[in-house]
Chains A and B, each alone.
Chain A
């Protein structure tokens, strides 16, 4: 296996596959511009960019900012990595010209101590070469994974706004056209059935087809699957445990892609490959599924979403995972595959107990299926979907409580405001899902029961809020007390009722004050 580091080829077949890119850069390659601030994906000091080839799901080839502290070297197979040392252009007379992102930050005094700066620069590089930055919140999203303790961020945001989408010419721009084509992914897959890296008694295998994967997994039944590594790598960087056998899903075409299927009934179902990066899912959800977009907007940070996947988020089965409530409320199911074949499971049945799933040995999650609401016709049933995430800090934080609600009403709500315009519609169906309140992501069945069949009224709402007490009893921890979680769980439902009743848009505004936007 190999990758390109600042345009130089690096062979990694014989390196301990649990070596992170950050450690490699600093300890082996002698590139110490890239810093470690946390080794857990939470500070961005280690940010580098990786050239992501054009795929059907993303907006074209792009440089993606990623946390080098969480990337294991073999994950880079066939990819091009750029660090802060690799940005300068050869100027006149051999002088090194800083990249636009570097200049923009420097000129605005966007560095004080300078320790966060290389990481900020790399996030700005992604911003500079992106073609899909068309809303102000995306600039926040682009930078929120880079903590800076010195500047107070004003000059950093100013630099980001100045470079966002500027697409400067030069080496990196040329690289996009040279190496960004769809062919690049094929090339990485190459002819080998399985790509391997091994060292220090540890091995990683990256099969390039499901067949090869089943064979590999049968040989190494104890091997752990890894995709983005934004969850798994923490065992290496924080707990100092080194898995002896890893299987990477990176090169499997079967687990990629996104497709909207229209059934004969006219219903539409969105199939999302388990290994699609969350940033790509987010981009597609903007039109297809605003409630999922709303949840993903404050999921981790750009660097995390550029590597993290739906498959990883669902299979960790964390009670505070954010996509599970969103997908539970949407009535999603998951396609599980093993050598024996495929099965479709309602998502609720995937979560068995605290961090345990219904995945059988040597079975994986291949795709997620999200039923999309039909466009509402006047006088007909209408579905309202919203998702909410509440955390101590809005950006890059783990939920204290997350929730997603989907209700189907017998007819559209009267346009908002004032006078009682006749009886409200009836709640035909309700799916209320929560994270952070129980050992697994869960639906609030009692509260659903209080709504279904009732009129869409504040009385029914309050009955449903009261019923939540039967559905779960949250616990206290450093993210919030049981009291806070229970109170917020109820208030989110209230907020949902008022948002829907007021006809508030499903998408969040720029810099919302709170998860509930009223």
Chain B
């Protein structure tokens, strides 16, 4: 098992574009890294325990908390009636009460919060809360919601050409349905918040959140305070993956409500079962499609109606649906098309952001369409993929009318299929299959083209605050949060590069809303793109303030000053140099300001949703994977045996960190598509609410042969130091697992056509697919 590394560790000059460790690596392995639940509690800290709904939908006819309030060790039991401000924690749709008011809409919805001296006391108190709910009919599937006309928001359409005519004229026609399941984030650290009352009515909120500013806003609204009264600090998360983008606010607001009421510190950490039941997951999608192809495998027309399960509240479902539609084209040009997207409103936990944000669900649809076409035509699916990539005008127009400039799909395909010997291995696989009765192999290529930017254009902004102390010490603050993705390591490198320091000379501070205001979530893979620009801008401002000071010290022209290796030197006479700290000391003495803010907004992104037209993305990130699997026709068990990836991270800021994102994203995607199955009871109770029954990939599920390389000579214009976002795109590489499984299944079924392969492809699904008659 190995991965290519590009560049050596411990660079001498700028740390950019060189391998580096995670900035917290040593603290991780020694156990010193602190997460919210690890922070030392201030004296008199209380804990909270939520009382949640046990029916999927109903009217609360009785809610009696008196006995619970009197229970030993219980200090408060809070209900909707105790909310002084707005009883809502939704990001913008005002449909998500913090505490249920009159009605419940999903099992696990919070009805009351018991606050007490210990979890035992809280639980005993919770057992005394009387909740009576008159059940109402609940919608628990996308189909049920559709039948009832129950939706969130408005439909989203994209159109081009006359799709009916193009379908009618197409020599080869396919139709079918693609289903992809939900996915629990399973961040190892569950949701957590510790709220400490400050002087006056101010609050300090420690939150495991990807979006401190939203937590701040929601806490302020719930308590009827100004945002200036609330400071949210997010030092690090034990994983986020989108699950802590909006939904961290809920836990933080509950704790804040209690802390404000009792004027005591309150901690609320969900246990695993609570977290899995209460919080939202990746959206399941059902997509119905009709497609038309030429006899050679050219995609001529595609109609898709994609419907997601949004759960009970809108959350980010609208934007996630949008991103699904933005990725229904995969990496391919579609001459005539009509896409329609809807979000079904059901009575399950409210689904939310998860790495890829709808993109993987969209791309999975077109991959199934292309694979089926190839199977029907007897072609290698990779050949069909290759011939449908975007190209020269007019083949450069996306379904939303943004032009694809500098498409890298073909380049990645050609380099990777050669390196991974795709064609030879496909032949080897077929030969192996001919010799093996009970075990079959499959191989597939998977391209990725992922649009980068928040599709709500105003979110594409970021701020930073950089402080330099007279002794040369540097602190950087930025609006991004660290959840393991290595953002802080990248920001250190960016700052060190601009100031001419080594990364160790710079300290990244905990993300805090009192340093950088109005930040966007660390999401949409945008963390380093946006914050990197802001950090760089602040550092450049400071460097330019230091330049005249250094010039005076070096007695040279300002233009000749170079900051590098922890020193300022004179380019004309490189032997003449002064240490950075001497420059900063001199600057201090000269009354030069040593703090600066930086700001960045992405230019040129806009989208008109009603028209289905615009330029939602600053650029696209590309990648490709060749995936090989083996399955057992006796049990349906299967294993990904080898994966080769070539991923486009632009000119990677820190290759070792980016390779980690690719590997981790792939395995997470593999889990989504094969192992991770959410099962609900007919009454809407999640039955797979702990790792006992919900299976994320374990060590042995990671491919034994796992070769990840980053595309070289791939600098991206207009992005920080030529890099590209890398958080989400690699997740989509795992869709190749489905292609490879299809190949193996086709082999096992003697070439008989297989219409649908629903995900997750558990062993049972595979066995069913084997038992399914042709075409069904």
Contacts and interface: CB of A to CB of B under 8 A. Distances in A.
Given A35-B189, A42-B691, A115 B238 contact: yes
Contacts of A157: 1, 699, 702
B354 to A, nearest CB: 12
Given A35-B189, A106-B25, A140-B699, A478 B635 contact: no
B635 A491 contact: yes
Interface stretch (A141-149, A270-278, A341-349): A141-149
B660 interface: yes
Contacts of A83: 31
A118 B32 CA distance: 9
B696 A149 contact: yes
A102 B637 contact: no
A514 B188 contact: no
Contacts of B771: 487
A113 B187 contact: yes
Interface string A128-164: 0000000000001001101111111111111000000
Nearest to A491: B634
Interface stretch (B293-301, B345-353, B608-616, B665-673): B665-673
Contacts of A513: 439, 630-632, 637-639, 641
Contact of A118 (B2, B31, B768): B31
A350 B220 CA distance: 62
B312 to A, nearest CB: 22
Contacts of B485: 112
B699 A393 contact: no
Nearest to B31: A33
Interface in A358-403: 390, 392-398, 400
Contacts of B237: 113
Given A38-B690, A154-B1, A390-B637, A113 B702 contact: no
A37 interface: yes
Contact of A395 (B3, B38, B700, B764): B700
B27 interface: yes
Interface stretch (A326-334, A416-424, A492-500): A492-500
B702 A514 contact: no
Interface string B38-53: 1010000000000000
A115 B21 contact: no
Of residues A34, A39, A106, which shows the largest number of chain B Cβ atoms within 10 Å of its Cβ? A106
Contacts of A118: 28-29, 31
A35 B32 CA distance: 12
B279 to A, nearest CB: 15
A393 B692 contact: no
Contact of A115 (B189, B675, B688): B189
B26 interface: yes
Contact of B189 (A34, A113, A158, A238): A113
Interface residues of B, number: 89
Contact of A150 (B123, B664, B679): B664
Given A484-B767, A514-B634, A515-B635, A102 B30 contact: yes
Interface in B638-691: 638-639, 641, 656-657, 660, 663-668, 675, 677, 679, 687-688, 690-691
B698 A393 contact: yes
A153 B667 contact: yes
Of residues A87, A154, A481, A518, which shows the largest number of chain B Cβ atoms within 10 Å of its Cβ? A154
Contacts of B37: 32, 36
A31 B38 CA distance: 9
A398 B692 contact: yes
Of residues B29, B437, B660, which shows the largest number of chain A Cβ atoms within 10 Å of its Cβ? B29
A33 B30 CA distance: 8
Contact of A111 (B29, B240, B667): B29
B696 A147 contact: yes
Interface in A31-63: 31-40, 42-43, 45
Given A32-B38, A152-B668, A488-B635, A106 B699 contact: no
Given A109-B25, A150-B239, A484 B764 contact: yes
A112 B123 contact: no
B241 interface: yes
A232 interface: no
A85 B38 CA distance: 14
Contacts of A121: 29, 31
B486 interface: yes
Contacts of B21: 106-107, 109
B657 to A, nearest CB: 7
Contact of B679 (A393, A395, A478): A478
Contact of B26 (A87, A106, A488, A511): A106
B428 interface: no
Contacts of B688: 478
A154 B707 CA distance: 10
Contacts of B185: 149
B691 A106 contact: no
B483 interface: yes
> Mostly helix, strand, loop or mixed at chain A's interface?
loop
B33 interface: yes
A397 B631 CA distance: 18
Contacts of A30: 40
B152 to A, nearest CB: 28
A147 B664 CA distance: 12
Interface in A199-215: none
Contacts of A35: 35, 188-189, 238
Nearest to B127: A240
Given A495-B634, A514-B632, A392 B763 contact: yes
Interface string B353-385: 000000000000000000000000000000000
Given A147-B696, A398-B692, A514-B439, A106 B29 contact: yes
A45 B37 CA distance: 14
A34 B702 CA distance: 25
A85 B29 CA distance: 9
Given A102-B29, A393-B701, A149 B239 contact: yes
A480 interface: yes
B24 interface: yes
B484 interface: yes
Of residues A43, A102, A146, A149, which shows the largest number of chain B Cβ atoms within 10 Å of its Cβ? A149
A151 B664 contact: yes
B694 to A, nearest CB: 9
A487 to B, nearest CB: 6
A390 B698 contact: no
B30 A85 contact: yes
Contact of B29 (A98, A398, A494, A514): A98
A103 to B, nearest CB: 8
Of residues A30, A33, A146, which shows the largest number of chain B Cβ atoms within 10 Å of its Cβ? A33
Contacts of A43: 188, 272, 691
A357 to B, nearest CB: 23
A479 B693 contact: yes
Given A37-B188, A395-B698, 14 more contacts: A34-B31, A36-B37, A38-B272, A40-B692, A43-B691, A102-B29, A115-B189, A149-B188, A150-B239, A390-B637, A390-B763, A478-B693, A495-B438, A513-B631
15 contacts: A32-B37, A36-B37, A40-B691, A42-B690, A84-B29, A113-B188, A116-B188, A116-B238, A152-B664, A154-B1, A154-B663, A158-B1, A487-B771, A491-B635, A514-B631
Interface of A: 30-40, 42-43, 45, 83-85, 87-88, 96, 98, 102-103, 105-107, 109, 111-118, 121, 140, 143-144, 146-158, 238, 240, 390, 392-398, 400, 477-481, 484, 487-488, 491-492, 494-495, 498, 511, 513-516, 518
Interface of B: 1-3, 21-22, 24-35, 37-38, 40, 120, 123, 185-190, 236-241, 271-273, 436-439, 483-486, 630-632, 634-639, 641, 656-657, 660, 663-668, 675, 677, 679, 687-688, 690-693, 695-702, 704, 706, 762-764, 767-768, 771
Closest 8 CB pairs of A and B: A33-B31, A113-B484, A115-B238, A514-B632, A114-B28, A112-B484, A152-B667, A152-B663
